Structure 1
Amino acid sequence: MAASLPKTMLAQVLVDFGKPYELRSVPLPVPSGPHDLLVKVEAASYCHTDYVLAQGQMFPLPKQLPHIGCHEFAGTIVAHFENPSSRASEFKPGDKVGVPGRAFHACGRCFECHGSKDPVAHDDGNYSVHCLEAENNGLSRDGGFAEYAVVDARQIAPLPSSMTPVEAAPLMCAGLTIFSALKRAKLQAGERVGIIGAGGGLGHLGLQYALKMGYKVLGVDAADAPLALANDLNTGARIVDARREKAADIVQQLGLEDGKKYTAEMGVDAAIILPESQLAFDFGMALLKAHGKCIIVSFPEHGFHFSARDIVFRDISIIGSLVGSNKMLREMLAFSAVHRIQVISRTFSLCRLNELVEEYHKGEGGKLVVDMSRNQ
């Protein structure tokens, strides 16, 4: 550890479930293994999962309280473990990196790490985001709502030179998650994808990724501010207000546009469900043509209800999608830089994290980010 580093740091800590964060001085975290790196956090993005955890509804819960949240952040490497691994040695002090939440200290032995064939979530070298023994930054262990954090070198990625930490932090969960969900859909160029929740943190990124991947894109939302945000991106996607248009009508319009005869062949090839709303799920399912894929990213406390008829008679596949591998993270960052993906965000200082949370509940779309360079 560098001698110039402080012994304490400021952090926003969760002291009890359902309560506001408290700004406290806490001990500086210390790398404890060869893959560990100490990062000076420069930007920490707020995710819906942070809210779920803060309410005590997340599994796994933190091992103990108080707890430091945030599983999507970016910053600068400042120190290694005293005997760093070859992977950790690839990063030097001063390197700018992005840090996703999963998976801290993957075991490399379980069937997920050793035997998984999932190209989205598994890396060469026996490392899986679904590891049965790994911890997760900001979830089961402390994360990025602090001045410093310990990260796993196998988990992180260098930032493109054109990307700031404030731009990168939301990509560490929102960007990676929606990018991976699109990959799971396995669409061909020219096929259609519906993004349900198109004006939210994941959705507005998904609109841009999907268009740049060569798909025809239908964005759906049901609130004024997110719809305005989605429209303002000017991606070329068709944006639909689910309060005013019926899924069945949209399917018929798409069928007419594509010159299709039968309703079963009309609609979208894949629908990505981002909100936790049953209405959103139903809308997405109704947009799908026969043999389509419903990609579920959200996980409402009481789940979703689906029709067996959709599964049996229409051959709809329901696929869950978590996040992506380190390889997928690096691909997403490079794609974002090349295609100049816009992260629509508002920033707050660390001391104003509770104000950020209040703004989040207004549901105005985009991402909310703690910018460590802000004092007020």
Structure 2
Amino acid sequence: MKAWVLTTFNTPYQLQQLPLPPLTSPHDLLIRVTACSYCHTDAVVAAGTVTPPSLPHIGCHEYTGTIAAFPSGLTSSHGYTLGDRVAVRGCGNHVCGTCRECTTPSAPLADEPGFSVFCPRAGAGLGVDRDGGFREFAVVDARQVAAVPEGLGAVQVAPLMCAGLTMYAALVKSGLRAGERVGIMGCGGGLGHLGLQFAVKMGLRTTGVDVKERALELARGLGTGAEVVDGRGETARGVKERMGREDGWTLPSEMGVDAVLILPESQQAFDYAMELVRDGGKVILLSFPPDGFRVAATDIVFRRISLEGSLIGSNKAMRDMFAFCVEHGVRAKTTQFAFEELNDLVEAYHAGTPGKLVIDMKLE
């Protein structure tokens, strides 16, 4: 099979001919990859800056495929049969099933005991600390995949397996009810533009903020009806005051969003979000810059802002997200490349091409 291999950090992937990967667990599936999506995590892994894998390494942790083989003696596994279309989320590969996290899986939308996407023995996941989907065939754990629903194609599904699932789970975690306000920092990126769609379809009054021209164009072109703010020209205080007038509030502490999700890794985005959220509101981090963020204790103590993180999502969240996407028409804006064009895709990513960049194995 052909595979794109990272042999040295900060260098292009190398296209190599490799043997089919072995099935080493009774839970394993061999899939023929049909689409694979590029994520910010792929970029930092390839740079060796976060969770550097052992080299050589095959990246990609959000992809789709069709089942091509089972372990010897099996003709099905966990309800899946040959030819089934499955979506692969990198986390949750070879979970132990016995640790504290697996026996009492984390909320929200927790899975049944015996599996947790956050199992510490499962490691960082496919495409991060073990080989992922940038190849013609891949081995995945049947417990970490989901059936692709009718009405969604491979290229549409691949970006949902990290970007989409991360945003959906974070919005659920926010605990907001229809009619409440949510802010999304970095609303025109790969995750953010999906978050805008999810939030609006959940009935939330949604404000997105970005500072890049192409990202703002993408966010505004979605037609969601969300308010899209250019953070270069509008201050968080100005946006809050407008919200206050609309909602009938008069005190600055009353104004602002009820929760805000932070996607960019910049301190400026963090500070903007902190000012945008109302007193007693919630800030949810989805980014993890190497140097972290500076947090003012006064925001936590006197303004009573709660700060928490969110990462990927459970199997239950994955199934719920698929149903939501089918019902409400949530779709990623994609730019597609052929398998042989992976390094061109990477260049387009670093050049700031908006939306999600996806390898479509059907393209030539």
- TM interval, shorter chain, is over 0.9
Q: Which amino acid aligns with 1:126?
A: G
- The one-character-per-residue Cα deviations of 1:306-326 (angstroms, maximum 9, x if unpaired) are 111100110111110011011
**Contact 1:41–1:147 (8 Å) recurs in 2:** yes
Q: Which residue of 2 aligns with 1:75?
A: 65
Matches within 5 A, 1:258-273: 258-273=247-262
**Distance in structure 2 (CA, Å) of the matches to 1:139 and 1:82:** 27
Structure 1 Cα separation of the partners of residues 50 and 12 of structure 2: 17
**Aligned partner (choices 14, 20, 37) of residue 45 of structure 1:** 37
1:154-233 alignment to 2 at 5 Å? 154-233=143-222
Contact kept? 2:87, 2:145, Cα under 8 Å: yes
Deviations 1:31-67 (A, max 9, x none): 21111101100100000000111111122x32x3111
Question: Post-superposition shift, 1:280?
Answer: 0.9
2:24 is the counterpart of 1:27: no
Match of 2:319 among 326, 330, 336: 330
Deviations 1:190-249 (A, max 9, x none): 000001111100101000000111100001100110100000101000000000100001
Distance 1:10 1:337 in 2: 33
Contact map agreement 2:7 2:13 (CA 8 A) in 1: yes
Q: Distance in 1 between matches of 2:302 and 2:196?
A: 30
Q: What's the offset of the Cα at 1:295?
A: 0.6
What is the TM-score when the length of structure 1 is the normalising length? 0.94
* Structure 1 residue 84: Cα displacement: 4.6
Q: Which moved more, 1:236-245 or 1:129-138?
A: 129-138
Q: Give the counterpart of 2:337 among 334, 343, 348.
A: 348
Consecutive unaligned residues in structure 1, runs of 5 or more: 1-8
Which residue number in structure 2 is paired with residue 4 of structure 1?
A: none
Deviation at residue 350 of structure 1 after TM alignment: 1.7
Distance in 1 (CA, whole Å) between partners of 2:162 and 2:106 is 22
Q: Do residues 56 (structure 1) and 45 (structure 2) align? A: no
Q: Distance in 2 between matches of 1:214 and 1:98?
A: 27
- Conserved 8 A contact 1:34-1:83: no
Hey, what's the Cα distance between the residues in 2 that align with 1:117 and 1:146? Answer: 32
Paired amino acid for 2:56:
P
CA contact (8 A) 2:105 2:113 kept: no
Task: Give, in whole Å, the separation in 1 of the partners of 2:41 and 2:106.
Answer: 27
User: What is the total number of aligned residue pairs between the two structures?
Assistant: 363
**Paired residue type of 1:316:** I
- 1:106 counterpart residue number: 95
Contact 2:6 / 2:46 at 8 angstroms: preserved in 1? yes
The answer on whether the counterparts of 2:338 and 2:360 sit within 8 Å (CA) in structure 1 is yes
TM-score (normalised: structure 2) = 0.97
Matches within 5 A, 1:304-315: 304-315=293-304
Q: CA deviation at 1:104?
A: 0.3
Deviations 1:325-374 (A, max 9, x none): 11111111111111111210101112111111111112232000011111
Secondary structure of 1:210's match?
A: helix
Structure 2 residue 224 is the aligned partner of structure 1 residue 235:
yes
- What corresponds to 2:113 in structure 1? 125
Residue type matched to 1:48 in 2?
A: H
Name the CA distance, whole Å, in 1 between partners of 2:295 and 2:260: 14
TM-aligned CA deviation for residue 82 of structure 1 = 1.9
| 1:117 Cα deviation after fit | 4.2
Q: Which runs of 5+ in 2 are unaligned?
A: none
User: Distance in 1 between the 2:318 and 2:101 partners?
Assistant: 18
Q: Quick one: percent identity of the two aligned structures? A: 52
2: CA distance between counterparts of 1:151 and 1:79?
11
Asked if the contact 1:248/1:287 (under 8 Å) is kept, the reply is: yes
1:89 to 1:115, Cα distance in 2 relative to 1, 3 A: closer
* Correspondence for 2:105: 116
Tell me how far apart the structure 2 counterparts of residues 41 and 115 of structure 1 sit (CA, whole Å).
Answer: 32
**For residue 78 of structure 1, what is the amino acid of its counterpart?**
A
| 3-state SS, counterpart of residue 68 of structure 1 | coil
Q: 1:310 to 1:73 in 2, by over 3 A?
A: same
Shift in Å at residue 148 of structure 1?
0.7
Q: CA RMSD in A?
A: 1.2
260, 266, 284: which one pairs with 1:277? 266
Q: Whole-Å Cα distance in 2 between the matches of residues 223 and 196 of structure 1?
A: 12
Letter in 1 for 2:23: P
